[in-house]
């Protein structure tokens, strides 16, 4: 829980690329707002993402889910994100801000491994 609290303070106490909020009753539930990256079809858009931490964070990845409807080959209609660091390549030193940066990069440059994403979405 200390790690989650520290990350939240770090992201809200400095100029961050992201707007972060959290459920006042549950430290394990956050909401992030990200901007669509310049030069992408999402430029100028604002997108809401729910973040849910598991009890064993940072040893397991938080669950990131788009709440804003978005059409993207690596994001399911339910908002699930096909990103390796949120599945098999999670590493405990990763922090929420770096994951959000990866998601922003994914919006600008979709992963072309669509079959893998379709398989992952079915899980």
Catalytic residue annotation: 82
Q: 3-class DSSP state for residue 58?
A: coil
Cα separation, 102 vs 93, whole angstroms: 15
**Token output for 3:** 């790690």
Cα separation, 101 vs 106, whole angstroms: 9
Alpha helices in the chain (DSSP H): 2-12, 96-108, 114-122
Cα separation, 100 vs 89, whole angstroms: 15
């Amino acid at each position: 829980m200390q790690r989650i609290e520290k990350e939240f303070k770090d992201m809200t106490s400095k100029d961050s690329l992201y707007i972060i909020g959290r459920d006042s009753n549950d430290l394990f539930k956050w909401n992030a707002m990200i901007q669509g990256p310049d030069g992408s079809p999402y430029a100028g858009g604002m997108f809401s993402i729910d973040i849910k931490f598991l009890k064993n964070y940072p040893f397991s990845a938080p669950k990131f889910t788009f709440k804003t409807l978005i059409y993207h080959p690596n994001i399911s209609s339910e908002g699930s994100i096909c990103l390796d660091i949120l599945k098999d390549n999670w590493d405990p030193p990763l922090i929420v801000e770096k994951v959000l940066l990866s998601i922003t990069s994914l919006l600008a440059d979709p992963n072309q491994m669509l079959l893998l994403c379709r398989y992952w979405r079915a899980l």
